[in-house]
């Protein structure tokens, strides 16, 4: 990952797992008013954050039967 790749004039790592098409899709992302973006570091409680956000939104009125109900849509 030593080389740089430029996408729309912005530098990105030139690693083989950074695809130009995916970076362009991320740059074009336009969140909706109802979108909630949860951002955590790996292994730092992402599932807990999803549970906390779900509980806040539903005010605790819709208990989860399992953690599998905490899904996300990858962009």
Over residues 42-61, the pLDDT tens digits come to 888 877 888 888 888 888 77
d(CA 44, CA 7): 30
Please tell me whether residues 47 and 18 are part of one structural domain: no
Q: What tokens does 53 get? A: 């956000």
**pLDDT score of 25 more than 70:** yes
Please tell me whether residues 41 and 67 are part of one structural domain: yes
Please tell me whether residues 23 and 37 are part of one structural domain: no
User: How many structural domains is the chain composed of?
Assistant: 2
d(CA 14, CA 66): 40
Please tell me whether residues 23 and 36 are part of one structural domain: no
**Are 72 and 53 in contact, with CB atoms under 8 Å apart?**
no
d(CA 34, CA 32): 5
Please tell me whether residues 36 and 67 are part of one structural domain: yes
Give the residue numbers spanning the domain of 67: 32-74
Please tell me whether residues 37 and 69 are part of one structural domain: yes
d(CA 22, CA 7): 10
pTM of the model: 0.51
Please tell me whether residues 41 and 68 are part of one structural domain: yes
């Amino acid at each position: 990952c030593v080389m740089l790749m430029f996408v729309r004039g912005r530098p990105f790592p030139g690693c083989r797992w950074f695809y130009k098409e995916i970076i362009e899709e991320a740059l074009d992302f336009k969140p909706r008013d109802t979108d909630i973006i949860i951002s955590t570091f790996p292994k730092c409680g992402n599932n807990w954050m999803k549970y906390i956000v779900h509980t806040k939104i539903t005010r605790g009125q819709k208990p989860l039967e399992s953690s599998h109900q905490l899904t996300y849509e990858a962009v």
